[in-house]
Amino acid sequence: MPDDTLFTAQNLGSLTSTISVAGLVGDTDINDFYRFDLTNNSNLNIVLKGDADLRLIRDFDGDGVVDVSEVIASSGTTGTGTPGTVFESINLFNQPLGTYFVRVTRFSTSDTNYQLSLSGDLMSNLIAQEAGADLGHLSATPITRFGFVGSSDTSDFYRFSLASTNDINISLTGLSADADIRLIRDFDSDGVVDVSEVIASSTFGSSVSEAINVNNQTAGNYFVQVNSFGIANANNTNYTLRLSNASTNNLIAPEANLGNLSAPPATYFGSVGDTDTSEIVRFSLASTSDLNISLTGLSADADLQLIRDVNNNGVVEAGEVIASSTRSGNVNDSINLNNQAAGNYFVQVYQFGGNTNYTLRLSNADISNLNAEEINLGNLAATPATYSSFVGDTDTSDIVRFSLASTGDLNISLTGLSSDADLRLFRDTNNNGVFDLGESITTATRSGNLDESINLNNQAAGSYFVQVYQFGSNNTNYTLRLSNSQPSNIIAVQENFGLLTAGGNGITRNDFVGNSDTSDIYRFSLNNTCNVTASLNGITTLVADADLRLFRDSNNNGIVELGEEITRSSGGITQEFINQVLSAGDYFLQAYQFSGETNYSLTVNAV
Do 453 and 518 lie in one domain? The reply is no
Beta bridge partners of 440: 426
Q: Tell me the mean pLDDT in the region 342-358.
A: 97
Do 110 and 92 lie in one domain? The reply is yes
pLDDT band at 5 (very low <50, low <70, confident <90, very high): confident
Q: Residue 265 falls within a domain, yes or no?
A: yes
Q: Is the pLDDT of residue 144 over 60?
A: yes
- Based on the number of CB atoms within 10 Å of its own CB, is 475 exposed (0-12), middle (13-18) or buried (19 or more)? middle
The alpha carbon of residue 418 and the mean position of all alpha carbons in its chain are separated, in whole angstroms, by 31
pLDDT of 386 reads: 98
Give the three-state DSSP class for 309: coil
Q: Is the pLDDT of residue 198 over 60?
A: yes
Show the domain range for 343: 256-363
Closest by alpha carbon to 256, among 279, 274, 285, 278? 279
Instruction: Express each pLDDT in 380-411 by its tens digit.
Output: 999 999 999 999 999 999 999 999 999 999 99
The residue type of 334 is S
Neighbour count for residue 440 (Cβ, 10 Å): 15
Do 326 and 379 lie in one domain? The reply is no
pLDDT band at 130 (very low <50, low <70, confident <90, very high): low
In the listed set 79, 99, 119, which residue is the last one of a domain according to the structure? 119
Do 273 and 351 lie in one domain? The reply is yes
Do 438 and 469 lie in one domain? The reply is yes
In the listed set 363, 398, 416, which residue is the last one of a domain according to the structure? 363
Q: Residue 1 falls within a domain, yes or no?
A: no
Do 71 and 175 lie in one domain? The reply is no
Task: Identify the residue with better confidence: 121 or 348.
Answer: 348
Q: Residue 22 falls within a domain, yes or no?
A: yes
Q: Residue 124 falls within a domain, yes or no?
A: no
Do 389 and 345 lie in one domain? The reply is no
pLDDT of 231 reads: 60
Give the three-state DSSP class for 87: strand
Do 450 and 402 lie in one domain? The reply is yes
Number of domains present in the structure of the chain: 5
Strands (E), 50-162: 52-57, 71-75, 87-95, 98-106, 112-119, 129-137, 143-149, 155-162
Q: Is the pLDDT of residue 79 over 60?
A: no
Q: Tell me the mean pLDDT in the region 56-85.
A: 78
Residue 364 has, within 13 A of its CA and on its CB side, a CA count of: 18
Q: Tell me the mean pLDDT in the region 592-600.
A: 93
pLDDT band at 301 (very low <50, low <70, confident <90, very high): very high
pLDDT band at 2 (very low <50, low <70, confident <90, very high): low
Can you state the percent helix, strand and coil of the chain, rounding each to 5? Answer: 0, 55, 40
385-391 vs 256-260, strand pairing mode:
unpaired
Burial 1-19 (b: 16+ CB within 10 A, else e): eebeebeebeebeebeebb
pLDDT of 184 reads: 96
Give yes or no for a contact between 580 and 550, defined as CB atoms under 8 angstroms apart. yes
Percent of the chain with pLDDT over 90: 83
Q: Tell me the mean pLDDT in the region 336-356.
A: 96
Q: Tell me the mean pLDDT in the region 437-451.
A: 95
Q: Residue 370 falls within a domain, yes or no?
A: no
End-to-end alpha-carbon separation of the chain, Å? 126
pLDDT of 80 reads: 43
Do 44 and 97 lie in one domain? The reply is yes
pLDDT band at 78 (very low <50, low <70, confident <90, very high): very low
Lowest mean pLDDT segment, chosen from 90-94, 412-416, 433-437: 90-94
Do 397 and 358 lie in one domain? The reply is no
Q: Which residues contact 23 (CB under 8 A, 6 or more apart)?
A: 32, 104, 113, 114, 116
pTM of the model: 0.86
In the listed set 119, 140, 168, which residue is the last one of a domain according to the structure? 119
Give yes or no for a contact between 149 and 239, defined as CB atoms under 8 angstroms apart. yes
Percent of the chain with pLDDT over 70: 96
Q: Please state, rounded to an integer, the average pLDDT across all residues of the chain.
A: 93
Neighbour count for residue 376 (Cβ, 10 Å): 13
Do 221 and 141 lie in one domain? The reply is yes
pLDDT band at 84 (very low <50, low <70, confident <90, very high): very low
Q: Residue 83 falls within a domain, yes or no?
A: yes
Task: Identify the residue with better confidence: 431 or 87.
Answer: 431
Q: Residue 489 falls within a domain, yes or no?
A: no
pLDDT band at 580 (very low <50, low <70, confident <90, very high): very high
pLDDT band at 233 (very low <50, low <70, confident <90, very high): low
pLDDT of 211 reads: 97
- The CATH code of the domain that includes 335 is 2.60.120.380
The alpha carbon of residue 355 and the mean position of all alpha carbons in its chain are separated, in whole angstroms, by 14
pLDDT of 540 reads: 81
Name the CA dihedral angle for 317, 323, 324, 325, rounded to a multiple of 10 degrees.
180
Give yes or no for a contact between 522 and 576, defined as CB atoms under 8 angstroms apart. no
pLDDT of 83 reads: 42
Task: Identify the residue with better confidence: 75 or 230.
Answer: 75
Name the CA dihedral angle for 453, 454, 455, 460, rounded to a multiple of 10 degrees.
-160
- Separation of alpha carbons 411 and 560, rounded Å: 12
Where do runs of H (alpha helix) occur along 361-459?
none
Do 148 and 97 lie in one domain? The reply is no
Beta bridge partners of 478: 389
Q: Residue 550 falls within a domain, yes or no?
A: yes
Neighbour count for residue 518 (Cβ, 10 Å): 25
